Every structure is written in C-alpha cells, then in structure tokens.
Structure 1
C-alpha cells in the first residue's frame, strides 16, 4: 500500500502542468510503523560512559538511552497528522520535469511587492526544515520587512518527489530543474537560498543560470580548490582546520552514501530504528548544542523529518545524491550574481571569506553569527528569518550590475 493519496496524475511525456497535491497516510502505514518500533531489536549500550550533558557521550554514535527515549515518543506521543495538516495549509503541488514529479510547497505572499524565493534543503534534511519560517517570510508581521513568494521543493528522491529510476539527477540537473519549476510558476527571475546540498545546488543555479537568479543567500560557500592559508587570521585558519578534520575523520556517512548507497539503503528503508539513528546522529553532531540536539530543536520537528523519509521510503533514493554529486562542484564555476553568505559557528564546513570570494565574486553581505549550527532554520528560526531577510535585502539593493573585474 502506498503512503500517498494524491491528486496529480501519473506523468506523461511533455506534461508541464502544475497540480495540487495532498497526502493522507493510510492508518495502516502508521500502525505498521508503531509495530516495528515496538518490536525493535536494540544493541547493548555504548561502552563510553559519561553523565549528561557531555558531547562525548555521542563518541560511538547515538547513545542507547537517548534513542530509546525518542523511539518511545515516536511510538506513543508523536502526531504525524499535525505535520500533514501543516503542509496542506502552506500549499502543496507537484509538476513533472523530465518525467520526474517534483513536489514543492508554494506560499504566495499577499504583498504586491513580494519577490520570488526558492528555498532548497539538503541531507538529512527535507522540507520539514522550512515549515516554521514560510509564513513569516511570505507575510511578515512587520509591514516594513521584505516579503517573498516562497517555493520549497523536495529534492528528487526525497519526500514526495519521485525517486529517480536512472542515474543523472545530480546537482547540475537539479539546478536546471529549479529554473524550469520557477518558470512554470511565473517566476522568470528569483532569489535563492540553500544550505548543505541546497547551498551546492543554488551555487550551480546562480553560476549556470545568472539570467534567472537575482541573487543568493547561502550557509554553504565552498571555495575553489588549492587555496592558501597565507594571510588568514587565526580564527580563519581554525575554520579550515575544522573543515579538514570533518572530512578526514567524521564523514564516513558521506563516503558510504557516495559509494554504496544501495547497501545502507536497505537498512534505511526497512528499519525505522536504523533510519532514526542514521539521521539523529547528524542532528546531534551538527547542531550548536552541548549534548543533545533537543536543546535547540524540538523532538517533533526531528521526527517530522525522519517520518517523512520513512513513509515515503526514500532513505536509499535520498542517499544517492551523494553518489550522483559528491565532490562534483565544478572547480571553475564562478558566481557573479550578488551573494549573501552566513557562516554559522557549528556548521560542518566553514570557508574564510578570502577563499569564498574567489568563487562568489559579488559578496554583498558576510555574516558570522555567534550561535547556530548546520540546521539554523530549526535551531535559531527567529534569527534565521531576520538574517535571511537582511541578506536578501542586501542582494536586491546591489542589483544585477555586471561581475567584479
């Protein structure tokens, strides 16, 4: 039985229609999830023993006691229907691009001066990252704040977008698909925001399709290869050391998904415990907290994200974005549209401005907050919205005058 009850048709070649979408997971699917959680076989506790709060409790991965707490809530207290209702209130749609149905949220602002804005998530995120900020971005309480027509697509293979049946859906193709998606909505030129894979995708989007992109705001600003540490401040050198340490010692998940996504995919699609642990580990390690991700991110929001992966059976297909695009960002790609860049202190990749500006050649705003990690829209949503507004305001004020010499 499918987890989807939807209104849009099976795609036919050449169909460019945009169709309203609804989802109502059959109760049997939720009963099956709860039964699997109740029957889970768990390993013995980790062999590192530290009292909370202490991030070293997570040295071997998700601690057993923490996992059990989340599983019990997932089984007995979590309300998936509330998440479904929130998606429907925002507005859900799908459209077929290259015979693949792309799911997206679309919230048009009531303001006549609103600017189109596409928000792109990454892994292990989803559209759940943005549901708490869409309304405020579209229709701010303060009339003096900028307003946006907000589009939040699910990446191919994620959530309610179709799972690709062939190779080829990497970041370059996704960026081209976003241009087509926005065009179908009547947005020939638009702003773009993203972090993680979303930041990679909007970098490609701005670099390849500058005629469509008014400017970008990103929390991911990967520099070209071969940059020197000469002239960097001690703090900037620390950023580069942290980034190098992450990729050398804490990126086994990326290597697995880039090389053998099908292998780990069996666990992610068959075991809700395996899926939860795989994703929760990243929320814990990549958030700006002293111990648990739930210091800043609600358990409900994490479970919205995990349950979306579970019910749509996208653990394997989402992992394949690494197979398609890991380390594939064109070293010669340059971004000449206005760019606002925010580097949160506990993010996993941090590049100094001197490095970033070799790729993003019109940085109009650079911000380094004192708090926040890889999931700022969930960790610090109020700050995230204000920073995004200020960054995009700077982008729009800069206009689209030609690239820096």
Structure 2
C-alpha cells in the first residue's frame, strides 16, 4: 500500500533510483554465529544492579542473546522496511565530492504538498520514522497527502555513505548534503526540516545556512551560550523536576559522548567485533533514554541494533560527537535561526528539556510549543501518533 506513494515529482534535478534492502544469507548466518560464540562477561557487583546506574545488567544481556538466537526474525523486519518506497541518490558536495544518500519517502500527487525532511539521531536510524509513515499511509492517499515525506539515512549512517574514508565527515558537510538532497528532489522552492538529537543539530544548521529551509521543528531544544532566562522559581514543579533529571543525566549518563568524541577509532573497532559487544553499548540507550513508563520491546531494541550491525553504522556514525569536544554547549559550534518559524515538541523523558517560558524568552520565532505527558528521546518511535499530530499542527500554522 505504501508503494502507491512512490510517484516522484516531475522534472526533478536529481536521479534517485528505487532500492530494496536485503542482508545476504551468508551475512545473516555469520551474524547468528558471532552471537552464538560470543562470551558474556563474568558476574560483577555492578552488572547485578537493576537500577540502571551502572548500565545494563548481565541478566538482561543473557536474555537478549537468547532472544536474538531464538525468536528474533530479521527477515520479518527487513520485509517491513521494503514495504515503503526506498531510494538511493548521489548528492554532490563542493568540498568533499559527493555522498550516496538513502532515503525512504512518501510522495504526494498534490501540487501544494509541503516537503518535510525528517532527520534521526544516534543511535537511531530512519527506522524510527516508519511507524509515523504507516500512520500517514492509513490516513491519506497519494491524492490527499498534504506533504512530501522524506526520511533519509544521515550521511555515514545506515544505508547512506560518506564522501570517502580519507575525509572526516563533519556536521556542516552533513547539513549541506541534506539540503542538497531536498534540492535534488525538486524542493528548492522551500521545505521544512525536522530533527532530534543529531537531526536537531542538522536542522539548526540548515535553518541558518540555507534559504531553502523555510521552517524547522525539533523534539529537543536547549539554551545557547548567550541566552539569558528567568530563574527556575516561576517554573512548574514538573518543569523543575525535568531540569533536575537532565542535570543528573549530564553528570552520570553522558560519558559515552566523550568517548565518541575523543576516541572514535578505539570504540568503533571494539564494538565492531561482535553484535553482542555492540548490543549493551547501544541497547543501554534504548533502555535508558525512553520513557520508562512505556519501555520499548526487546524485539525493537534488537531490530535497531541489528540494523546498525548489518550496515556497519556504528564505527562510521560518531562524527557528530567530534563537534562537542571542547565545547561547553552545543551553540559554541552550531548556530540556530531565531527568525525562521520554529516548532518544539517537549517530551518529558528527553535528556534536555526547555520549559515553555524559557523557550519563549530565547526564541522569538517560536510559533509552536507542545509539552507532552509521556515520551522520551526516540519520540517518533515511542509516540508516533502524538509526534505526527505535532508535525501536522505545526505545518498548519505555517499556511
């Protein structure tokens, strides 16, 4: 049914080609064998603690390994991926040559359809947005869909490549590639950028660098170095608790980012030795960063990590953290527009929350703010219905 939305806009500058993703039987066999022979480390005091303070437990890893080898069905997930229109396209860059970019899409037949690019983060992928795309397919037809939905694998993530192994990819390059993707798909007249995590970094860059980016929506937002806001006294109890939770996370949950930013070669090689080595490092984030009142199923976590393994994403995907090294705040490296329309969806279990009063003080261009009672870092994956409604409400405000 989703493939009814595969009609490309007419006379586009680029040349996307349809793409289907299939892991070879040999790679799948090797994957299962690596999991089977991989040893789980010995019991320690730390890995017996169930409160998450020290990371995943040994018991969880044992259960995950058993599920991976038992009931987990990669081919089922692979088949689901291929029910959506997928494409690859070569995107040129003036500095580093070009990128081969993968994207999933739902194209509208409406002439007034609004192009929207949805950009994931780490350790996410374009897979996060498939539940939202399912909702759109059920709600609209190609004749009624009000949007062109573009969901790429970010440069050097998933099914997209970097320019070359001899060049370090940067956020600026990735933002240029995402903007050029939209131009090559015929949306040079204007589009909306949406992002969380790394996608948030790219959306803020695109909002300042490119006139084609007319508006942007994010599901994480932060203060900038130069921003001044009121004290916390006027905030609600819930908002103060969210800020306190974010402060605790900065002190106890962000060490991975410094490892990524300072030693990407070491950690990239170490975790590429076995799926079972990669699982606790990435799986921990899908356990800890979601709303613990509605945790993700183990099968979903294994699906996300398996995709990283089969696409060799992990060792390639660490470049965004290089921008954080030596910066107290993200704004030291990445500007953000305070002129173009901005929408913000605040999910309570995200690592960084900006209360509405502060957001309105800092961002005069804020036209949409919605605080939610549940949801976390992977908003589109955790709460696809709520996430989509926010996007549609934001787009309506731009009309």
TM-score bin (small chain): 0.7 to 0.9
Equivalent residues in 2 for 1:149-188 (5 A)? 149-163=148-162, 164-188=164-188
1:365/1:391 contact within 8 Å kept: yes
2:349/2:377 contact within 8 Å kept: yes
CA distance in 2, matches of 1:139, 1:340: 25
Residue 350, structure 1, aligned to residue 353, structure 2 = yes
1:214/1:338 contact within 8 Å kept: yes
CA distance in 2, matches of 1:46, 1:122: 32
Tell me the CA shift for residue 106 of structure 1: 1.7
Q: 2:203 — aligned with what? A: 202
Q: 1:212 — aligned with what? A: 212
Residue 298, structure 1, aligned to residue 297, structure 2 = yes
Q: 1:132 — aligned with what? A: 131
Equivalent residues in 2 for 1:179-328 (5 A)? 179-188=179-188, 189-209=190-210, 211-228=211-228, 230-232=230-232, 233-235=234-236, 236-290=239-293, 295-324=294-323, 327=327
Structure 1: 5+ residue stretches without partners: 1-14, 398-405
1:193/1:202 contact within 8 Å kept: yes
Tell me the CA shift for residue 259 of structure 1: 0.5
1:224/1:331 contact within 8 Å kept: no
TM-score for both structures, normalised by structure 1 = 0.84
Secondary structure (helix, strand or coil) at the match of 2:272 reads helix
Residue 21, structure 1, aligned to residue 19, structure 2 = yes
Tell me the CA shift for residue 50 of structure 1: 7.8
- Per-residue CA deviation, residues 215-239 of structure 1 (Å, 9 max, x unaligned), is 1211122221144453432444444
CA distance in 1, matches of 2:147, 2:166: 35
CA distance in 2, matches of 1:46, 1:132: 38
Q: 2:79 — aligned with what? A: 85
- Per-residue CA deviation, residues 292-318 of structure 1 (Å, 9 max, x unaligned), is xxx432333322211111011121111
CA distance in 1, matches of 2:138, 2:111: 11
Q: 2:32 — aligned with what? A: 34
Q: Aligned in 2, Cα 1:157/1:49: closer, same or farther, shift over 3 Å?
A: closer
1:345/1:370 contact within 8 Å kept: yes
When the two structures are aligned, how many residues end up with a matched partner? 373
1:223/1:358 contact within 8 Å kept: no
- Per-residue CA deviation, residues 93-126 of structure 1 (Å, 9 max, x unaligned), is 1122232211111221355543111100000100
Tell me the CA shift for residue 190 of structure 1: 1.0
1:46/1:63 contact within 8 Å kept: no
Residue 393, structure 1, aligned to residue 396, structure 2 = yes
- Per-residue CA deviation, residues 117-172 of structure 1 (Å, 9 max, x unaligned), is 110000010011011111433662599x9732111111112111114414452222
Tell me the CA shift for residue 381 of structure 1: 1.7
Q: 1:76 — aligned with what? A: 70
- Per-residue CA deviation, residues 359-395 of structure 1 (Å, 9 max, x unaligned), is 643111111111111112121222222222212222x
Q: 2:116 — aligned with what? A: 117
CA distance in 2, matches of 1:362, 1:115: 20
- Per-residue CA deviation, residues 336-355 of structure 1 (Å, 9 max, x unaligned), is 11111011111001123454
| RMSD, aligned CA | 2.7
1:373/1:379 contact within 8 Å kept: yes
CA distance in 1, matches of 2:129, 2:18: 20
Secondary structure (helix, strand or coil) at the match of 2:82 reads helix
